[in-house]
Amino acid sequence: MVKLSTSLAALLALVSIVHGAPASNSPTDSSSSASVSSSAAPSTTLSLSSGEVPAGTSSAPSETATVVPASSNPNAPIFLPGADDPAQPIRGPLGANIMGPQNIPIQQQVPDLIAPPTTDHGDVGNAKWPFALSHNRLQTGGWARQQNIEVMPIATQMAGVNMRLEAGAIRELHWHKTSEWAYVLKGTTQVTSVDQDGRNYIGTVHPGDLWYFPPGIPHSLQATNDSAEGSEFLLVFDDGAFSEDETFLLTDWLSHVPMEVLAKSFQMNITAFEHIPSQQLYIFPSEPPASDDLVSSPQGQVPNPFSYPMSQVNATKLSGGSVKIVDSTVFNISQTIAMADVTVEPGAIRELHWHPTQDEWTYFIEGQARVTIFASSSNARTFDYQPGDVGYIPASFGHYVENVGNTTLHYLEIFKSDRFQDISLTQWLALTPPALVKAHLGFDDDAIAHLSKTKQIVVGPA
């Protein structure tokens, strides 16, 4: 009995020491330590024998009784992308300089990979790919470079191609196994097509306009002479494994069919085929199109246009920028690709949000962006983006897009879907019972009242 009493006394002493330890022993800052000390203090009055709570003490512990509050220490980028100073992996007391070989031009583009914010944790797949690192296919008349899962494995649902045509140059008649969606970056392009019912289409698209061709629908692209330089555009395909080299090309097919078969199928003399190319043309120079005159078809024209004049659509103005949303509700033919054209002013942010079931393929046109991707299970990573970069965010991964530069940020959010959908974190909390939000985050009534019940999309500086 003496030994048992001694052990019990030691245990009670240990409990007293743990619960009565001064807050200064905590590794957190003073404000956090004070909160922990305050919330933990009532626990020293609990009866070890019965577990009863003394009169006047709340039975609902504060949120800091479970974990300490998050740190408010600054976590901004250690420098702006493109800064002249050599980038080093140092953030406050953390890290050290690089002593070995360095690729400084690349380091200067990715400050949040070199010296991540302390909120980053765990592992998230690479979500940044510059088209400048893509192999370029050079042709007489233009070029094309692509991004797919070979260079960016996380991007499983969509792939992209950046293509350039000189004035008059033709991306030859072709079709794909996937849908083709396009955004015009510069210049003017004429597109033509014929659908499975023999109905045809011709149209001209300008900077900021879109086109879309469903899988298997044949089409052509030709730069007009509206600009002496021709045109450049972004193509997106609804398959991350897509390869531009696997396109079904008119000349490639005919060069692999016996000539007598061609004559029989076309019901023409074999001499008509003596000048067909011996291999694919892909991109080749030609005279610019003279007009948009459509060949008369007995089956008529396609019921839904294959192009959409988004450049003529007014953007929705927001407190921190603007947005244009285009999906199948307005661009009817676009059944597998939806998009948002977003601008974010300096200091503003595309609010914290996620997309319920659709991966996001992002293309940055102007400005400097910072994006932190939350992948659940305490995994989060921050990436920096410049013009010409591709980003990718899997479905349901929480994220924001912050303008960290001094000019307007302009980028595209693209989804493999017929509808644009997102969930706003602020709106979710605003429409949730306040007591639940307070229990999670410790917000007071003023903070709860400040939550917006409508989506802000792009929020101006606080």
Mean pLDDT confidence for 263-277: 97
Q: Do 284 and 323 share a domain, yes or no?
A: no
Domain that holds residue 388: 314-459
- In the structure encoding, which two tokens stand for residue 390, read together? 């591709």
Q: Does the residue 94 lie in any domain?
A: no
- In the structure encoding, which two tokens stand for residue 428, read together? 């979710």
Question: Coil, strand, or helix at residue 33?
Answer: helix
Q: Does the residue 28 lie in any domain?
A: no
What pLDDT score was predicted for residue 198?
Answer: 98
What pLDDT score was predicted for residue 19?
Answer: 39
Q: pLDDT class for 460, splitting at 50, 70, 90? A: very high
pLDDT digits (tens, 9 = 90+) for 105-117: 899 999 999 999 9
Q: Which of 114, 110, 108, 109 is nearest to 89 (CA)?
A: 114
Q: Do 379 and 393 share a domain, yes or no?
A: yes
Q: Do 361 and 270 share a domain, yes or no?
A: no
pLDDT digits (tens, 9 = 90+) for 155-209: 999 999 999 999 999 999 999 999 999 999 999 999 999 999 999 999 999 999 9
Final residue before a domain boundary, out of 308, 334, 357: 308
- Helices in 295-443 by DSSP H: which ranges? 425-430, 434-441
Report the domain count for the chain. Answer: 2
Residue 274 bears catalytic tag:
no
Residue 13 has pLDDT above 70, yes or no: no
Mean pLDDT confidence for 260-264: 98
Q: Do 326 and 434 share a domain, yes or no?
A: yes
Q: From CA 94, how far away is CA 235, in angstroms rounded?
A: 42
What pLDDT score was predicted for residue 30?
Answer: 37
Q: Do 165 and 282 share a domain, yes or no?
A: yes
Q: pLDDT class for 83, splitting at 50, 70, 90? A: confident
What pLDDT score was predicted for residue 5?
Answer: 42
* CATH number, domain containing residue 425: 2.60.120.10
What pLDDT score was predicted for residue 15?
Answer: 37
Final residue before a domain boundary, out of 258, 273, 308: 308
Q: Do 271 and 342 share a domain, yes or no?
A: no
∠ Cα 104 404 449 (to 5°): 150
Q: Does the residue 301 lie in any domain?
A: yes
Lowest-confidence region among 15-24, 180-189, 226-235, 336-345 = 15-24
Q: Does the residue 11 lie in any domain?
A: no
Q: Does the residue 78 lie in any domain?
A: no
What phi, psi does 394 have (nearest 5°)?
Answer: -60, 155
Give strand pairing partners of 391.
Answer: 128, 362
What pLDDT score was predicted for residue 462?
Answer: 78
Name residues whose C-beta falls within 8 Å of residue 408's C-beta, 6 or more positions apart in sequence.
321, 343, 344, 345, 346, 366, 367
Residue 417 has pLDDT above 70, yes or no: yes
Going by the DSSP 8-state scheme, the letter that residue 337 receives in this structure is -
Q: Do 237 and 369 share a domain, yes or no?
A: no
Q: Which of 232, 244, 402, 413 is catalytic?
A: 413
Mean pLDDT confidence for 418-429: 98
- In the structure encoding, which two tokens stand for residue 158, read together? 């969509």
Q: From CA 394, how far away is CA 392, in angstroms rounded?
A: 7
Residue 346 has pLDDT above 80, yes or no: yes
pLDDT, averaged across the chain: 89
pLDDT digits (tens, 9 = 90+) for 49-66: 334 444 444 455 665 567
Q: pLDDT class for 67, splitting at 50, 70, 90? A: confident
DSSP assignment of 373-386, as one string? Answer: EE-STT-EEEEEE-
Q: Do 284 and 185 share a domain, yes or no?
A: yes
Q: Which of 400, 459, 447, 452 is nearest to 431 (CA)?
A: 452
- In the structure encoding, which two tokens stand for residue 181, read together? 């969606």
Q: Does the residue 181 lie in any domain?
A: yes
Distance of CA 74 to the CA centre of its chain: 25
Q: Which of 405, 412, 399, 397 is nearest to 350 (CA)?
A: 399
Helix (H) / strand (E) element for 263: namely helix 259-266
Final residue before a domain boundary, out of 282, 308, 334: 308
Q: What percent of the chain has pLDDT over 70?
A: 86
What pLDDT score was predicted for residue 59?
Answer: 54
Q: Do 292 and 162 share a domain, yes or no?
A: yes
Q: Do 232 and 169 share a domain, yes or no?
A: yes
Q: Do 186 and 282 share a domain, yes or no?
A: yes
Q: Does the residue 142 lie in any domain?
A: yes
pLDDT digits (tens, 9 = 90+) for 90-104: 999 999 999 999 998
Q: Does the residue 354 lie in any domain?
A: yes
What pLDDT score was predicted for residue 9?
Answer: 44
pLDDT digits (tens, 9 = 90+) for 368-377: 999 999 999 9
Q: Do 345 and 376 share a domain, yes or no?
A: yes
